[in-house]
Amino acid sequence: MTLTQWAHRLGLLSRASDTLDHFSPGIYDAPLEQMVAALGADRDSTAAAPRPGAVARARLRRQVRQQLRPGTPPPDLAERVRRARDEKQEWEEVAGKAARPTAPEGWEEALAAHAPIGEDLAWLEQALTGTSAGDELSTTHLDTVLERLVRLDARADRAPVAAQAHPLLAPLRERGLGELVDDLARRGVPADRVSQEVRFVHRSSVLDHLTSDAVPQQVGGDTVREAERSFRAADRAHLHRNALRARRAVLRRLRRTLSGHASQLGAWQRALEETKVGAVDARDVISRAPDVVLAAAPVLLASQLAVPAVLPPDLTLGLVVVDRAGRTTTARTAPALARGRQVLVVGDSGGPGPSHFAVVADPRAEGDPGPMDEPSLLSRAAQVLPVRHLGTHYRALDQGLVAPLAPLMPRPVHSFPGVERAASVREHVVDGHVSARVEAGVRLVLGHARSGPDSLLLVTDDEAGAEDAGIALRAAMGEDERPASLSDDEQHSQAFLVLPVHRVAGQTRDRVVWIGSPEAVRSPEAAGSVLAAARRSVDLVTATPVADWPTGAGHGAAIVRHALVPGARSTGTAPPC
């Protein structure tokens, strides 16, 4: 029995009771079809019984009056007879042919109790629209409705949370993700695992789509690889043509400049002759022939700290680009900014901020100088210049390396789904002395180096740890030939590096091995800089499981915990390579 069925039956009882207030119970045993025809009360003329003759009509009218209770006959007598006929038919459909409509004791109380229940369930059904608990409450069997209400009552403490979450989840339900939301809630999936579940569902749906009939053109692996080779060749050819066009444009500009500034050409040649017998004074050379220098080298690369020493103060450039502006201050870049007609400031707003500049003879004595109190150039420039936020992280090849950085970003940043079976961030718990962790990290580095050409970065807590790791790495390699990925040639853009955490910001390598501890990532930015340095994976070697790292809101452990996929952990004295 459903609530809608109860409403219909209680309504039938109400109508039968009203009929019995005017007629005796025998009215339901009378020939109601003929009476309706005699009184002309049938609204459906096509289905009405044949109208009886005058004598029969008079007899039937007398029978109707005989069924009336004492008192004045109702003015709508014909309509009430028709209602009695309909009530008899409905009653027989519910209770059988032998049953006759009655008004049992207590039906009025049942009707009064039904009204508020119906209103409450209608409100609840509207409030829970789109959920399994609120689906068609009025047309569902009452036993099932009761089970749902009992489950809701058992979780009444979730009502405030549900009230806040409902408007946030409504857009997901509108996009067809209601079943996924309900499944996560029904299984009680923890919040830190929701992203992995959603990522699995997304990739599974993409796979189902690609293997379904909705994608008519299915191609083989050889065709895909050939298309990739063709694209790479076309891209290299396009870049080569662009380089040739740029080179020709520079040569044309240089010829025009040399023909129009002959005096500067002579001054430049004399300045170059002077440099053969003394130190090169770039500032003097440029000041003598600024137009010739800029025509020959239209793009100048210089450290912000070296700009005053190498560029004349009156030299004006069309565009000044400041890279890694989040790691420097306005005071340091003021000489460069003053020399540009336009300025483009580029930086990572989620980075660790400006760092101190110092030069020491012994790197072990440098240590971590800590953060500066002065705001970065990036934050200062964002207050006065138009800001363009980039929403796609093209460098990382796995969304698992980018999603944990969300708390550090002013806007959401996305990457690409990972294609490797292994987790992008893995934890290796190694007990014992710090030397054991260094040896484990070195084994991981060598394992990556021998398995492929990926570039590598080894991160430690401090400068002393970096030196210890370098010594251990050289000892582990011995006389063996050094793999290409471990080349420390500074001329190579992807040379192997061993750096402490506070110097990692801005570096990028395919794989990062991090010999770390919670003391080195007291800020989320420090932990984020290590994750942001990796394109493919991060291997964390630690003595303390990340789950036991500090839980404070301002600690970098939260970033690391978010990055770790449950189960991506190995334990023991030496991690696997």
pLDDT, tens digit, 9 for 90 and up, residues 113-141:
878 887 877 877 777 776 666 667 777 78
* One domain for residues 553 and 433: yes
Which CATH number do you get for residue 417? 3.40.50.300
Q: Stretch 228-255: mean pLDDT, rounded?
A: 94
* One domain for residues 359 and 405: no
- Burial class of residue 13 (count of CB atoms within 10 Å of its CB; 0-12, 13-18, 19+): buried
* One domain for residues 416 and 271: no
CA distance 77 to 516: 94
* Average pLDDT of the residues of the chain: 82
Token digits of residue 257: 């400049």
* One domain for residues 377 and 460: no
Long-range contacts of 130-135 (CB under 8 A, 24+ apart): 130/170, 130/173, 130/178, 131/178, 131/182, 132/182
Token digits of residue 440: 């484990």
* One domain for residues 313 and 422: no
Please tell me which residue, 33 or 278, carries the higher pLDDT value.
33
Q: Quick one: pLDDT at residue 45?
A: 53
How many C-alpha atoms does 426 have within 13 Å on its Cβ side? 22
Token digits of residue 325: 């502006």
* One domain for residues 325 and 406: no
DSSP 188-232: T--HHHHHHHHHHHHHHHHHHHHTSTTS-----HHHHHHHHHHHH
- Considering the domain boundaries, does residue 368 fall inside one? yes
pLDDT at 253 over 80: yes
pLDDT at 236 over 60: yes
Q: Quick one: pLDDT at residue 246?
A: 93
- Considering the domain boundaries, does residue 515 fall inside one? yes
* One domain for residues 333 and 442: no
Identify the domain boundary among 104, 137, 152: 104
Q: Which pLDDT band, with edges at 50, 70 and 90, does 574 fall under?
A: very low
Other beta carbons within 10 Å of 442: 24
* One domain for residues 270 and 312: yes
Given strand 534-542, what is the order of strands in its sheet? 497-500, 456-460, 509-515, 534-542, 425-429, 569-571
- Considering the domain boundaries, does residue 171 fall inside one? no
- Considering the domain boundaries, does residue 150 fall inside one? no
Q: Quick one: pLDDT at residue 424?
A: 87
- Considering the domain boundaries, does residue 207 fall inside one? no
* One domain for residues 359 and 424: no
Q: Stretch 89-112: mean pLDDT, rounded?
A: 80
DSSP letter (8 states) at residue 412 = -
Question: Residue 17's domain spans which residues?
Answer: 3-104
Contact assessment for residue 514 and residue 381, using Cβ atoms and an 8 Å cutoff: no
Please tell me which residue, 438 or 223, carries the higher pLDDT value.
438
Q: Which pLDDT band, with edges at 50, 70 and 90, does 174 fall under?
A: confident
- Considering the domain boundaries, does residue 224 fall inside one? no
Identify the domain boundary among 104, 125, 148: 104
pLDDT at 5 over 70: yes
Q: Quick one: pLDDT at residue 358?
A: 64
Strand ranges (E), 240-388: 317-322, 340-345
Q: Quick one: pLDDT at residue 307?
A: 92
Q: How many domains does the chain have?
A: 3
* One domain for residues 371 and 410: no
pLDDT at 525 over 80: yes
Q: Which pLDDT band, with edges at 50, 70 and 90, does 49 fall under?
A: low
427 phi/psi in degrees, rounded to 5: -110, 130
Token digits of residue 76: 């709508």
Contact assessment for residue 559 and residue 524, using Cβ atoms and an 8 Å cutoff: yes
For residue 176, give the nearest of 197, 205, 196, 133 by alpha carbon: 205
SS3 336: helix
- Considering the domain boundaries, does residue 281 fall inside one? yes
Please tell me which residue, 317 or 31, carries the higher pLDDT value.
317
For residue 38, give the nearest of 29, 48, 24 by alpha carbon: 48
* One domain for residues 362 and 416: no
User: Which of 85-99, 329-343, 387-401 tops mean pLDDT?
Assistant: 329-343
What letter represents residue 151's amino acid? R
Q: Stretch 345-368: mean pLDDT, rounded?
A: 71
- How many residues are listed for the chain in this entry? 577
pLDDT at 572 over 70: no
How many C-alpha atoms does 356 have within 13 Å on its Cβ side? 11
CA distance 423 to 326: 30
Contacts of 489 (CB under 8 A, 6+ apart): 495
Please tell me which residue, 215 or 478, carries the higher pLDDT value.
478
What letter represents residue 165's amino acid? A
Cα dihedral 246→248→252→255 (10° resolution): 110
Please tell me which residue, 334 or 25, carries the higher pLDDT value.
334
Other beta carbons within 10 Å of 317: 16
- Please give the model's pTM, rounded to 2 decimal places: 0.58
Q: What sections of 408-523 are H helices per DSSP?
A: 434-451, 463-477
Q: Which of 36-40, 427-431, 454-458 has the lowest mean pLDDT?
A: 36-40
Contact assessment for residue 368 and residue 390, using Cβ atoms and an 8 Å cutoff: no
Contact assessment for residue 292 and residue 269, using Cβ atoms and an 8 Å cutoff: no
* One domain for residues 366 and 434: no
- Considering the domain boundaries, does residue 31 fall inside one? yes
pLDDT at 48 over 70: no
Identify the domain boundary among 104, 139, 165: 104
pLDDT at 371 over 70: no
Q: What is the pLDDT of residues 404-452, one digit of tens each?
A: 888 888 888 888 777 676 788 999 999 988 999 999 999 999 999 888 8
For residue 74, give the nearest of 21, 24, 27 by alpha carbon: 21
pLDDT at 577 over 50: no
